[in-house]
Amino acid sequence: MVLCPLEDELPSPVLIDSLKYGKDQRFRLVSTEFNMTTYTDKGVKPDAGRFVTFDHVTFWVGNAKQAAAHHIARLGFEPFMYKGLETGSRELASHAVKQDKVVFVFQSMLEPDKPAEMARHITRHGDGVKDVAFQVEDLEAIVKKAKSRGAVVVRNVWEESDEHGTVRMAVVQTYGDTTHTLVDRSNYKGPFLPGYKPVTFKDPLTTGLPKVGLLHVDHIVGNQPDLKMQDAVDWYEKNLLFHRFWSVDDKQLSTEFSALRSIVVTNYEETIKMPLNEPAPGKRKSQIQEFVDYYGGAGVQHIAIRTNDIIKTISNLRARGQQFLEIPKTYYVTLRENLKNSKVTVAENLDEIERLNILIDFDDNGYLLQIFTKNMQDRPTLFYEVIQRHNHQGFGAGNFKALFEAIEADQAERGNL
């Protein structure tokens, strides 16, 4: 690793054992092996307002009831909350599903072409993520700061109340047609949001199929058109006061055919991670460009969800019929050789990891395990990642080549490579 002032050119690689620097200096750690940068500077701590965690993710889809049922059957979610005609919602049906701290809300129209924005969104983008909601504290301070810096506020602060209290919310526009709802729950004790009622139907799949063990959202990835990633990064830094956490360039994230660049931004407490990707020039179309083409612009490409036992989680997801990318056998031959020279000992059984097609990325301090589903719909525009961390806060940079090759195999089948 190399310690470099952010405003300076990179020096010749120099290995260091400890990292000490003045609080007024801004530094980044550069991995010379992977062209990867881990940023140590959080910037100035916001004087008011705090981002706490991911709150929920809202999908706009053609049939919310069926989309929710699919996630219950394949991914092990449970029916949670509902809003529709029976609750007085005349335009939208909303089906919320839950697994531990992960809440997905699937929404669809109840009348032709209404709401018009949703009709346009589904026509252009297909089923996809419309909104990533963050739980916040001191909502007014966050919105005021964002406004002062030029952020587009789609809906100013409003309140919704029921017998459990009052929730305060606001909506800001981020990349593409994607939004962030900022949710202040400090005066609310209900299970989700006012206007929703608990689902009383007991789906037999929730007891008849094996439990999955997904815990919470780890990160959410947004794909950008070529040369638009920096604009998205700037938006988070400027309007939400996020900072850079990690980045990697196309010198590492490439195969024979395609490449990408990625920068991860995060809040001051580093509890919300938002990787932003863009395609880089290659011999053929990258997975990022494929997404942009089929989605019709920037949008959420995948959601990574944490587990504490990836072997059990993936075994049970496969038992439910969930499909995952297939990794070449050569990956595991190389992996075993590389682990022989590593300071890290992987606790999980490598034969099981290979059988399940799980990927491992590691450094001298720890490792992570990750796996990616196949696309969740006909348009190649949304998939999920399951991730388990062992003292490793990266994003699988060491696996990107194998992952790209697996995705390219699927792209080739679709005629899009």
Cα-Cα-Cα-Cα dihedral of 24, 395, 212, 311, to 10°? -120
Bridge partners, 128 (sequence order): 60
Contacts of 87 (CB under 8 A, 6+ apart): 195, 196, 197
Structure tokens at 72: 């219950």
Structure tokens at 254: 């490439």
Residue with tokens 């612009």: 297
CA distance 194 to 355: 45
Contacts of 19 (CB under 8 A, 6+ apart): 3, 27, 29, 40
302 is an annotated ligand-binding site residue: yes
Contact 13, 34 (CB under 8 A): no
CA-wise closest residue to 103 among 145, 71, 141: 71
392 is an annotated ligand-binding site residue: no
Structure tokens at 214: 């997904």
Structure tokens at 81: 């909350």
180 is an annotated ligand-binding site residue: no
Bridge partners, 107 (sequence order): 60, 94
CA distance 356 to 354: 5
Contact 104, 220 (CB under 8 A): no
Please provide the distance, in angstroms rounded to a whole number, between the alpha carbons at the two ends of the chain: 35
CA distance 160 to 245: 34
Q: Which residues are annotated as a binding site for Fe cation?
A: 219, 302, 385
Residues that constitute the known binding site: 219, 302, 385
